[in-house]
A and B are shown apart, each in its own frame.
Chain A
């Protein structure tokens, strides 16, 4: 029998983790190999001895579970911290104020923290009655009105004075001007109109004279130019006519010659020409 269980199989056997068939085979093998069995026995004794090492008793910490995620205590929450912070600083302020010396009072629904001024001022003010206040307001209003009225009066007067002055000076000037003008006007107008008439006349005369002269020159020139043009035209027509005549003459000469030649050729060789002509 060549079956030999390895260390792993022996361990599994020792701890009873083999299936039935495998256990059988190992047991058979052990019967045949007492030294292996002895070895295994020793190991199991070791196990027994080590088994005397017992567990240590320990108690699981009870709050352990909630340690991580849950239940932040209320005094660690943000809102609480903030409100406590404000309250603490306020308290500190109060105590500090107390210690430094100045007053911290609470009266008539008013909390007063004062450092360097006496609270008498306010008590004085408090003594004022509504009537007094009303009076004060009234008197100041009256004063105000008076000063406003005075101011208004003063400025009004000033404006009127200045207006008066201006009016006087201006009217005097205008009167002077008007009287001067009315005295001088009649003679001047007459002479002015006469001068105007004369000037107009002169201008008209000059204009007509100038324009008549110019027209004369212009018409003369026009006439000369026209005659020149006519001459030129005639010359050109004549030349054209001549050349036309010449060309006609040439043509008739040429024609004459051609007919003569044709006639001559017909006379010298009547048959051939006829054939040629027919063929043509």
Chain B
């Protein structure tokens, strides 16, 4: 959550942004270094797929390079960057829907070709105490996240994991602040139901938390 965010003073260094905007290569490189992890994690949580996350991150930063000079208000940089990332995420999602009709969530658990994550998580109930290693828990929660609609997922990730303010999310998605809050509400509500359905209770997680 909050502790996952990089140092705020570094991220919001207006001087750095200004230098990057004027074409300073070092400053631009610095920006990429600072934000790459955030954008990658945002898209990774959105897709639950490393390759897609890499692709979106690359495209996002290429676009940032090209268009940074057109950014009028440096203070808007954060939401501006997420706007780019969200747009590429949506684009990839559309492509995926047209090319592959099966979403990742629909893979039957235990199928051989599917990544190991599914197998391990399907075997969770056999011996929970041993199998709740951290990555596996993360994958489990990630699966829950994938069950939300894309709209809710965007908002939940931005709020919960990226720590954006509602105002910033509204700015990034170009919808009203109330819409964002509403999506967040239903997103959390939906997650609650999904967690219950998957029987991930406080007791089950208590080991980790």
B171–chain A nearest beta-carbon distance, Å: 14
Closest to A54 in B: B138
Chain B contacts with A in 125-165, Cβ cutoff 8 A: 134, 137-138, 141-142, 144-145, 156, 159-161, 165
Minimum C-beta distance from B77 to chain A (A): 17
Contacts of A66 in B (CB 8 A): 25, 29
Q: A10-B185, A56-B40 are in contact. Are A43 and B166 (CB under 8 A)?
A: no
Give the chain A neighbours of B197 by CB distance below 8 A.
none
A65 at the interface (CB under 8 A from B): yes
Instruction: Assess the A11–B184 pair: CB atoms within 8 A.
Output: yes
Query: Contacts A17-B166, A60-B32 given: A70-B25 contact, CB under 8 Å?
Result: yes
**A53 in complex: contacting residue of B28, B40, B45, B178, CB < 8 Å:** B45
A11 CB contacts on chain B under 8 angstroms: 166, 181-182, 184-185
Interface residue A46 (Cβ < 8 Å from any Cβ of B): yes
Point out the residues of chain A lying under 8 angstroms from B166, CB to CB: 11-12, 15, 17
A1-43 interface bits toward B, Cβ cutoff 8 Å, 1 = contact, 0 = none: 0000001111110010100000000000000000000000011
The 8 A CB mask of B31-59 against A (1 = contact, 0 = none) is: 01100110011001100001000000010
In the complex the two chains form, is A46's CB within 8 Å of B138's CB?
no
A46 lies within 8 A of B4 (CB) = no
Question: Cβ of B32 and Cβ of A8 under 8 Å apart?
Answer: no
A138 within 8 Å of B (CB atoms): no
B25 and A8: CB pair below 8 A? Answer: no
Query: In the docked arrangement, what's the CA distance between A46 and B184, Å?
Result: 12
Q: Which residue of A lies closest to B185 (CB)?
A: A7
Q: Does A101 contact B (CB under 8 A)?
A: no
**Is A55 on the interface with B (CB-CB < 8 A)?**
yes
Q: A12-B166, A43-B189, A65-B32 are in contact. Are A51 and B1 (CB under 8 A)?
A: yes
What residues on A are CB-neighbors of B181 within 8 Å?
Answer: 7-9, 11-12
User: Cβ of A49 and Cβ of B195 under 8 Å apart?
Assistant: yes
Q: B209, A52: Cβ atoms under 8 Å?
A: yes
Residue of chain A at shortest CB distance from B138: A53
CB within 8 A of A64: which of B4, B32, B145, B192?
B32
CB contacts between A and B, total, < 8 Å: 103
A253 CB-CB contact with B under 8 Å: no
Quote the shortest CB–CB distance from B65 to chain A (angstroms): 5
Select A50's contact among B4, B61, B160, B178, beta carbons within 8 Å.
Answer: B160
Query: Does B15 make an interface contact (CB < 8 A)?
Result: no
Residue B66 CB within 8 A of the other chain: yes
Contacts of A17 in B (CB 8 A): 165-166
- Residue in B33, B62, B156, B165 whose beta carbon sits within 8 Å of that of A60 in the complex: B33
The reply to whether B189 and A49 form a contact with Cβ atoms under 8 Å apart is no
B188 touches A (CB below 8 Å) = yes
Choose from A8, A49, A57, A60 the contact partner of B141 (Cβ within 8 Å): A49
Chain A residues with CB under 8 Å of B177's CB are: 8
Chain A residues within 8 Å of B185, by CB: 7-8, 10-11, 43
Contact (Cβ within 8 A) B165 A50: no
> Are B160 and A55 in contact (CB-based, < 8 A)?
no
Taking CB atoms, residues of chain B closer than 8 Å to A48 are: 209
Quick one: which of B37, B142, B192 contacts A42, CB cutoff 8 A? B192
Interface residue ranges, B against A (CB under 8 Å): 1, 4, 25, 28-29, 32-33, 36-37, 40-41, 44-45, 50, 58, 61-62, 65-66, 134, 137-138, 141-142, 144-145, 156, 159-161, 165-166, 177-178, 181-182, 184-185, 188-189, 191-192, 195, 200, 202, 205, 208-209
Sample 30 A-B pairs with CB under 8 A, ordered by A number.
A7-B185, A8-B177, A8-B181, A8-B185, A11-B166, A46-B188, A49-B195, A49-B202, A49-B205, A50-B191, A52-B138, A52-B141, A52-B209, A53-B137, A53-B145, A55-B41, A55-B161, A56-B41, A56-B50, A57-B37, A58-B36, A58-B41, A59-B36, A60-B32, A64-B29, A65-B25, A65-B32, A68-B62, A68-B66, A69-B65
Known: A8-B182, A53-B145. 19 other contacts (CB 8 A): A8-B177, A8-B178, A8-B181, A15-B166, A42-B192, A43-B185, A47-B160, A49-B195, A54-B134, A55-B41, A55-B161, A56-B50, A58-B40, A60-B32, A60-B33, A65-B65, A68-B62, A68-B65, A69-B65
